[in-house]
């Protein structure tokens, strides 16, 4: 679900009450993976605390207040642990955006394969009568870094992805999303949430949190 939702809240509305409204509206039952994220007064992404009133948290003062519904925790095996189609779609949308924006590093060949699953999830089976040359021209398919590193035109990238798209014939759109996630979950930076921290010397660092534990990165290594 890639959409904007609007809710009216009261001064005493808690984070949990707002979160519950969101998950009820979209029909999500696997709520434990997700949270509401906002930009704080200093411009840093922060998770909404469920037990506190929304109005008592350091949310950037905008009208309306802006929140992103995002995965906070990631399963180790998406094919086993994600049950609802809506859960899979929410993970798919977030992980795809992470790969395309280069938050999750992805090698070129893997990016092409993932792009083909994303195309299958949107267009269904490849049909040469319907899917003429240029049918992918308005799609974001691979990270800009990958396009910049290789001397291929956009049309050549589209052609590579179209070849893979044709191989996925008979695959349901929902299954294409799951196949995308099954590949993406093996990428090194998949499922890591980053938090800005400082060490005792005052050096800026990133704290990376994932299903397997904690890692600390220097700023330029993220």
Q: How confident is the model at residue 195 (pLDDT cuts 50, 70, 90)?
A: confident
| Dist. CA 203–CA 14, nearest whole Å | 35
**Does 142 score more than 80 pLDDT?**
yes
Degrees, nearest 5: CA angle 131-128-94: 40
Dump pLDDT digits (tens) for 36-75: 999 988 888 899 999 999 999 999 888 899 999 999 989 9
How confident is the model over 141-145, as a mean pLDDT? 93
Q: How far apart are CA 100 and CA 159, in angstroms?
A: 18
Question: Does residue 165 carry a pLDDT above 90?
Answer: yes
What's the half-sphere exposure (Cβ side, CA atoms, 13 Å) at 172?
Answer: 4
pTM for the structure as a whole = 0.88
Is 90 exceeded by the pLDDT of residue 215? no
Tell whether the model's pLDDT for residue 5 goes beyond 80: yes
182: which 2 tokens? 């099954």
| DSSP 8-state secondary structure symbol assigned to residue 16 | H
Q: In the prediction, which pLDDT does 211 show?
A: 66
- Residue 124: band (very low, low, confident or very high) from pLDDT cuts 50, 70, 90: very high
Bigger pLDDT: 45 vs 78? 78
User: Measured between alpha carbons, how far is 54 from 110 in angstroms, rounded to an integer?
Assistant: 41
At residue 108 the predicted structure's pLDDT band, cuts being 50, 70 and 90, is: very high
Q: Mind listing the pLDDT tens digit for each residue in 20-45?
A: 999 999 999 999 999 999 998 888 88
Long-range contacts of 135-138 (CB under 8 A, 24+ apart): 136/161, 136/162
Q: What is the spatial distance between Cα 178 and Cα 21, in angstroms, rounded to a whole number?
A: 27
Q: Are 69 and 63 in contact (CB under 8 A)?
A: no
| Cis preceding-peptide flag for 64 (omega within 30 of 0) | yes
Residue with tokens 């921290």: 197
- Range from 119-123, 156-160, 211-215, 218-222 carrying the lowest mean pLDDT: 218-222
- Tell me, what's the pLDDT at 123? 97
CA-to-CA separations, 69 to 62, 111, 119, 168, in angstroms, rounded: 17, 25, 24, 30
- Written as one string, the DSSP assignment of 23-80 is HHHHT---GGGEEEEEEBTTS-EEEPPTTSBGGGS-B---SS---EEEE-S--S-HHH
């Amino acid at each position: 679900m890639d959409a904007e939702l609007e809710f009216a809240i009261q001064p005493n509305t808690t984070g949990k009450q707002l979160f519950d409204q969101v998950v009820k509206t979209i029909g999500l039952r696997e709520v434990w993976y997700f949270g509401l994220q906002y930009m704080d007064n200093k411009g840093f992404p922060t998770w909404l605390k469920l037990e506190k009133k929304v109005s008592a948290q350091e949310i950037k003062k905008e009208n309306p207040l802006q929140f992103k519904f995002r995965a906070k925790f990631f399963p180790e095996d998406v094919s086993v642990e994600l049950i609802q189609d809506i859960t899979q779609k929410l993970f798919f949308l977030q992980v795809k955006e992470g790969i395309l924006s280069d938050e999750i590093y992805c090698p070129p060949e893997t990016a092409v394969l993932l792009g083909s699953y994303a195309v299958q999830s949107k267009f269904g089976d490849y049909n040469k009568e319907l899917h003429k040359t240029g049918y992918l021209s308005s799609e974001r398919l691979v990270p800009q870094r990958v396009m910049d590193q290789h001397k291929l035109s956009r049309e050549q990238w589209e052609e590579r992805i179209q070849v893979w798209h044709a191989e996925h014939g008979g695959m349901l759109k929902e299954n294409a999303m799951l196949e995308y996630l099954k590949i993406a979950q093996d990428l090194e930076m998949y499922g890591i949430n980053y938090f800005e921290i400082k060490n005792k010397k005052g050096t800026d660092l990133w704290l990376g949190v994932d299903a397997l534990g904690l890692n600390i990165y220097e700023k330029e290594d993220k």
